[in-house]
Chains A and B, each alone.
Chain A
Amino acid sequence: MPILSKEEARQIIDKVLSFSKADELSANLSGSRRGNIRYARNAVSTSGESDNLSLAITAVFGKKAGTATINEFDNASLEKTVRRAEEIARLAPENPEYMPMLGPQQYLDPQTFADSTAKIDPDFRAQATFDSIDPCRKKNLTAAGYMEDTTGFSAIGNSKGLFGYNKATNVDFSVTVRTADGTGSGYARPDFTDVGKLNTRSTTEVAMQKALASVNARALEPGKYTVILEPTASVELLQNMMRSMDARSADEGRSFLSKKGGGTRQGERLFDERVTIYTDPMNSELPLSPFGGGGGGGGGRFGGGGGNDGLPQEKTTWIENGVVKNIPHSRYWADKKGVKPIPGPAGFIVQGGNQSLLDMIKGTEKGILVTRLWYIRAVDPQTLLYTGLTRDGTFYIENGQIKFPVKNFRFNESPVIMLNNLEALGKPVRSGGNLIPPMKIRDFTFTSLSDAV
């Protein structure tokens, strides 16, 4: 079993540290069990399960670092790997940006682990898939979907006394339902820490309804439209924006956060004043790893975000009432600038309101409801301009009602402009490891039509 307890992990890390002859030594131990099932054309196409347990040891002499990895844990193997890391470090070029390892840290204790998810087995996956395919078969619809569950842990320790451990679970499910003639398509994609909250049948029913409702789509002229972006539509644009927030590139003059004449735009109001984005590892809907590093997979729930040095993840506000409050600083850049290092957001929460998606539709005179945006690529990093297309359920709204499906559009839009053209925010839901509300945006730029269904 690749999921070690805190004490088991500590014993291995302590043993590794006892072999050290380097100036500094760190050990990142992580393990995961991942299972998946994939289906298309209403039948399973592939499924599998994989275990992985590995230890990465980094040795440092001065500013020269070397890393070696191993997946055997007897004393001889551990000592051999420490020696190999030391050997690689001695031969490595000096890294002028190397930062000394951190000492002991205080970490939060978020509830990132759910027993129910850890217990998923092949029968569970087959049943979840049956629950998705069965209603589609009965309505002459075609389902293609994918479920992936991960149970993992990550532990980190170093020769300066730092130790951290976290155990986490995650399940991602996505389904695309198409009509038999290929003229309608719908999509849904939830993710959870606790699989007990996942219902593949009801999720599939949402995609089925969208598939049936999107048949006979009409063409609207491209141009600027008021849109309601469901969280599955806005998530990638917002993730791209959050990943682009980096103090160093802003200071270097090559970021959307670079200030004319030098410096960053921290403290400036860049967005509508209703925009507040923050990270909180203790949020019960979106618990995140209390430290960066350690691997284990699954992004922020397992230990992703903010480098691999064990910097604590704390509640951090990135944008408050439209003002850029904090920009991630690596330890090196923070040291150079004389400020506190801030690890990048592993998952984020966009503060919303209480309106449901239905309420937002009811309150819309004219607009377009977007289920999903696809093939999003950066066009201009200076303005964070992105292009991509709508997909799997795009509908015209008039006088508070969905009137008819519309053909898909290509958009060219910047999330910075989008978050300035904000009309309303709904109730946040979890999407792609973040909490995001449905958003009503005016003047969203569609530049051409697509025949794709």
Chain B
Amino acid sequence: MGALGMMMPAVPAFARTVAPEALLEPGLDITVKKRLADAALNAAKAKGATYADVRIGRYLNQSVLTRENKVQGIVNSESFGVGVRVIANGCWGFASVGDARDESVVAKAAETAVAIAKANARLLTEPVQLAPQQGFGEVSWKAPIKKNAFEVPVKEKVELLLACNAAAMKNGANFVNNVLLQINEQKYFASTDGTYADQDIHRIGPNFTVTAVDPQNGRFATRDSLSAPMGMGYEYLQVNPSDKVGGVTTRYNMGYDMLEDITAAAKQAKEKLSAKSVEAGKYDLVLDPSHTWLTIHESVGHPLELDRVLGYEANYAGTSFVTLDKWKSKNFNYGSPVVNFFADKTQTGSLGAVGWDDEGVKTKRWDLVKDGILVNYQAIRDQVHIIGEKESQGCCYADNWSSVQFQRMPNVSLAPGKTPLSVQDMIKGVDKGIYIIGDGSFSIDQQRYNFQFGGQLFYEIKNGQIVGMLKDVAYQANTREFWNSCVAVCDESDYRLGGAFSDGKGQPSQSSAVSHGSATARFKGVNVINTARKI
């Protein structure tokens, strides 16, 4: 649904809390995993499955939660189990089992999955049509991290967060909530196609909210971090000056300076209290990548999910305005000619990067919108025949061993402009505009036409100059009109990633982590509303 839970620690299902050292203990030996996987696959086939896959998952999380000068909690958790998915009598079936280290237990789960598939086949209308997939044999993939965050002592992380909180309080904040989340997914996938993929995925997400209060006037204002959750190790918090982007406030690329950002945040939260309230009307918007990722996510990523287009999410997340006829026409202009969106499950440092997806498909990059024209969707093995593809694009994902895998959004990004253009030069060309940095409030309808977005920082642009801070800003637009109003995208030197740990979809809901890249982009004449109210 795009219901992004960005702040809450994502503790996996059936997780148990453990000591921090347990996060560094090795999981099952790969030979044991292969033996368990084969037991499941053989049991499924013996019961009549025409296809089976098994995921042996170990999910490790650590969250460090602080406020002001206090540690509110340190949670270390581990979740381990096996999920088996099968096709029998033309229908999917799934079963899972926790703490499974015994072949007979895993085989029993496979048999249950076959029984469920056969039971559900009674209500079947269209048998599953699974795209063929080559087997890759025994392969592995490891996120190219430089430092495993779990190797860093908790004490060091606590000291960093509390030092940052102290800096915020010293610079005008009244309250600070500061959280550091770290995730390691150790996934072993095997299927009857002959792939045995062992993968090691790491993610890190620093996130704070600074609050400034004006008690006399009964007002308060907040400023959230400009960090992005990343598919990286602890190196994300070890800053290199080349990762910083200067300007009206510093933004960050592949390294994040929390101390610098929180210091600025405290001052900016205070400044917000007395900022000018925006006058509603049409403005040119200049959107920083720390903001645009969320607009891409909601208005491009979700509507191009093929399962939504087909109606599988109709009861919850909704359907999509991007119906198949629009794709078939080959001339549906999703955006202006400078708009190019691509999907990419391989981008280094992104949250969605893996070697193989959760049904054994090797990941890749492909175009979704080319020179403004819709060219493709995001699909998985049982859908790709509908869009005339011979093999899956590799977007299948389950958030836990206990969850069944389904189509999830890959990293979807706006390609940078092809001609050199800096942010400064872009702003120079704007007569009446607003420069928006950071993500804020977000909402979009169930077919992804009408949206409204806020932000963290709003700066008024007059005659090519930033003249001051604004508040109470949100913009409303229609997806297609908005992307067709995109007149310029800065060049690749400004390209940065944003993203979310917890994109929700499905019933029961599953969360997925996804990144979206862009360079700063300009949009003509967008409707801006004033959100101030009196109660």
Binding site for B on A (CB under 8 A): 36, 38-48, 50, 52, 54, 56, 67-71, 84, 87-88, 92-93, 95-97, 122, 126, 129-130, 133, 142, 144-146, 148, 174-176, 178, 182, 185, 252-254, 256, 258-262, 270, 374-385, 387-389, 391, 408, 410, 412, 414, 416-417, 447-453
Contacts and interface: CB of A to CB of B under 8 A. Distances in A.
A144 B315 contact: yes
Interface residues of B, number: 78
13 contacts: A39-B123, A40-B313, A41-B312, A67-B17, A126-B123, A148-B507, A176-B314, A254-B220, A375-B445, A387-B441, A410-B443, A450-B450, A453-B447
A97 B377 CA distance: 51
Nearest to B477: A448
Contact of A452 (B116, B321, B442, B527): B321
Listed residue (B402, B442, B446, B476) with the most chain A CB atoms within 10 angstroms of its CB:
B446
Contacts of B315: 38, 40, 144-146, 174-176
B315 to A, nearest CB: 4
Interface string B207-225: 0000101111111101000
Contacts of A174: 315-316
Given A36-B507, A41-B311, A377-B441, A129 B123 contact: yes
B220 A382 contact: yes
B32 to A, nearest CB: 20
Contacts of A126: 119-120, 122-123
Given A174-B316, A412-B452, 14 more contacts: A45-B92, A46-B404, A48-B116, A68-B16, A146-B315, A253-B215, A258-B218, A375-B2, A378-B441, A383-B532, A385-B531, A447-B529, A451-B321, A452-B445
Contacts of B402: 50
Nearest to A182: B319
B158 interface: yes
A209 B2 CA distance: 28
A95 B70 contact: yes
B508 interface: yes
A148 B509 CA distance: 12
Interface in B321-340: 321, 323
A148 B508 contact: yes
B229 interface: no
Q: Which of B16, B313, B532 has its CB near the most chain A CB atoms (within 10 A)?
A: B16
B95 A451 contact: no
B449 A452 contact: yes
B493 to A, nearest CB: 33
Describe A's contact surface by its main secondary structure: strand
Interface string B173-194: 0110000000000000000000
A417 B311 contact: no
Interface in B71-90: 71-72, 74
Given A38-B507, A43-B126, A416-B535, A379 B454 contact: yes
Given A142-B311, A258-B218, A449 B450 contact: yes
A145 B311 CA distance: 11
B318 interface: yes
A417 B94 contact: no
Given A41-B125, A46-B404, A178-B314, A374 B476 contact: no
Interface string B473-495: 01010100000000000000000
Contacts of A54: 14, 16
Nearest to A50: B402
B124 A43 contact: yes
B96 interface: yes
A388 B445 CA distance: 8
B444 interface: yes
Interface in B380-434: 402, 404, 406
B16 A71 contact: yes
A54 B126 CA distance: 40
The 7 closest A-B pairs by CB, nearest first: A260-B218, A450-B450, A144-B314, A452-B447, A452-B445, A144-B315, A253-B213
Contacts of B24: none
B174 A252 contact: yes
Interface in B296-312: 310-312
A11 B50 CA distance: 47
Contacts of A178: 311, 314, 319
A374 B448 CA distance: 12
B146 interface: no
B96 A93 contact: no
Nearest to A94: B71
B120 A44 contact: yes
A410 B507 contact: no
A451 B213 contact: no
Contacts of B204: none
B508 A270 contact: no
B450 A258 contact: no
Interface in B35-66: none
A122 B119 contact: yes
Contacts of B213: 252-254
A254 B406 CA distance: 40
Contacts of B96: 48, 50
Contacts of B211: 254
B450 A261 contact: no
Given A41-B312, A50-B402, A261 B215 contact: yes
Contacts of A133: 123
A374 B314 contact: no
Contact of A259 (B122, B218, B441, B447): B218
B1 interface: yes
Contacts of B318: 374, 391, 452
B19 interface: yes
Nearest to A222: B476
B444 A48 contact: no
Contacts of A252: 174-175, 213
Nearest to A263: B215
Contacts of B71: 93, 95
A253 B446 contact: no
Contact of A88 (B19, B443, B535): B19
A383 B533 contact: yes
A451 B479 CA distance: 11
Contacts of B98: 71
Given A84-B19, A129-B123, A387 B474 contact: yes
A56 B19 contact: no
Contacts of B217: 260
B450 A448 contact: yes
B463 to A, nearest CB: 29
A385 B449 CA distance: 22
Nearest to A410: B450
A447 B476 contact: yes
Q: Which of B14, B123, B478 has the most CB of A within 10 A?
A: B123
A451 B478 contact: yes
A451 B531 contact: no
B76 to A, nearest CB: 9
Given A36-B507, A253-B174, A48 B314 contact: no
A377 B123 contact: no
